[in-house]
Amino acid sequence: MSQIRTFNDFLKRIAIVVGALVVILAVIFGILVFTVPQVKAFNNLLLASFSNPRLMLDFLDRHGVGFNSLLFRVVVFPGFTWAALIAAEVIWFERKFLAKMQVRVGPLYAGKIAGLLQPIADVIKLLFKEMISPARSDKLIYYSVPVLLMAIGSALLAIIPVSEAWLIMRSDVSVLAIFAVAGFGPLVVLLAGWASNSKYPFIGGLRGLHQLVAFEIPMLVSVLGIVLAAGTLDMVNVVQAQSSVWFVVLMPLGAIAFFCCMLAELERLPFDMPEAESEIVVGYMTEYSSMAFGNLQGLAAYIRFYAMAGIFTTLFLGGWHGPQILPAGFEIAQQVEWFTIKTLAVMVLVIILRGVAPRYRMDLLLRMGWARLLVLAFVNLFLVLLIIQMGWFPIKVGV
């Protein structure tokens, strides 16, 4: 075989390997068709479904893996695969967009068109790197941290209603569930810093702990106003309550507080102190390598990013509501489309901040969290209470 010199050679090599695997599997399948009756029946169904796809869909539904099953929603849409795709494209967009802001070119070669496949090329590169752990680190905790952070981000996905009918989970207390899930974040960050048995991760972990705890409470208080106004803890009902006016119009102070807290929770600039590279290398991720690092820095972080932006959209920007642009009968598609557009807009806003803001300082940040944002959130809460009491609220309170 020829030597791998370029990314295209690499793709060719992968295509050859995958092709060989497909051929081998096809041969095994062919042998099984003539020996095992169940496989023979499946083969007949497969052949028939080329002319009538409905047959296949019914078959999948019968076995609980069809489009209407929970598994499909969790794994494909609107669950993990969808979020991972958005994450990959947002990573690409962020690089390209920041590059334009900074008078650079950005990713260019991988994928021919504007470096579109650069995130995927990076993932492949990271997958082939060696996984290293420091000596005398706590291996179990060390390797579970990337998984846990990914789990936190993915669990948030279940709560977000992308449309009225097509969602993963509906609960009476889903607003609380956000904080229940996100509350694990500081713990995991601290664990990462501690398990690495190294100085910079330790400082980064402590910073992460302080920062995330300091911003959890203002975040919770800023959401209380919404809970009062919508009269429910159910995310779906929160969106339904915004059918005429978005909550960002009614409570801008709360939206600002929530947005700042969101930046801190996500460790995005200007609040990326736990991973400040000029001071503590990459903070609690310093000792991670290979895909564990790719997961922490890339996939898990951006799935969390998408999830938090989605929560902001749901709570303040009216979720799936928007002017009708698709014909009747496509309600779900239209709702998903408005939700996605709004979420991406929030993400772009966060990315722009990265281009124009320097990093803040830890002590100033804590003062901001405890003394400014908390006050702002409470002012927002009292204003909401006041206008509900006076009966000035433009929408019906309580569903």
**Contact set with another protein (CB under 8 A):** 98, 101-104, 199-200, 203, 269-270, 272-273, 276-281, 354-364
In angstroms, give the least distance from the CB of 268 to another protein: 11
Q: Provide, rounded to whole angstroms, the least separation between the CB of residue 127 and another protein.
A: 24
What is the rounded distance in angstroms from the CA atom of residue 162 to the CA atom of residue 313? Answer: 10
Measured torsion, CA atoms of residues 256, 262, 268, 270, in degrees rounded to the nearest 10: 30
User: In this complex, which beta carbon is closest to another protein, that of residue 234 or of residue 272?
Assistant: 272
With respect to another protein, which residue has the nearer C-beta, 358 or 391? 358
Q: How far is the CB of 98 from another protein (least distance, A)?
A: 7
Q: Which amino acid is at 367?
A: R
Return the number of other C-beta atoms located less than 10 Å from residue 177's C-beta: 18
Nearer to another protein, 181 or 190 (CB): 190
Considering the complex, what minimum distance in angstroms separates the CB of residue 263 from another protein?
Answer: 12
Rounded to whole angstroms, how far apart are CA atoms 313 and 164? 14
Nearer to another protein, 148 or 203 (CB): 203
| Residue 200 C-beta: closest distance to another protein, Å | 7
Name the residue nearer to another protein (CB basis): 192 or 273: 273
CB of 102 to another protein, least distance (A): 4
Q: Give the residue with the Cβ less far from another protein, 82 or 284.
A: 284
**With respect to another protein, which residue has the nearer C-beta, 357 or 387?**
357
Query: How is residue 50 annotated by DSSP?
Result: T
Min dist. Cβ of residue 112 to another protein (A)? 25
Q: At what angle do helices 252-266 and 300-316 cross, to 10 degrees?
A: 170
End-to-end CA distance of the chain: 67
Q: Cite the DSSP H helix spans in the chain.
A: 7-35, 37-49, 53-62, 70-75, 80-101, 118-127, 139-159, 174-182, 184-195, 199-230, 235-241, 247-250, 252-266, 277-280, 290-294, 300-316, 331-356, 362-367, 374-390
Is the four-CA dihedral 353, 355, 357, 359 of positive or negative sign? positive
166: CB partners within 8 A, 6+ apart? 73, 78, 332, 335, 336
Give the integer Cα–Cα distance in Å for 369 and 211: 8
Counting every residue written for the chain, the total comes to 399
Q: Whose Cβ is closer to another protein: residue 178's or residue 209's?
A: 209
Closer residue to another protein (CB): 360 or 393: 360
Shortest spacing between CB 359 and another protein, in angstroms: 3
- Name the nearest CA neighbour of 216 among 168, 265, 176: 265
Asked if 330 and 165 touch (Cβ cutoff 8 Å), the reply is: no
* Closest approach of another protein to the CB of residue 101, in Å: 6
The number of angstroms, rounded, from the C-alpha of 119 to the middle of its chain's C-alpha atoms is: 16
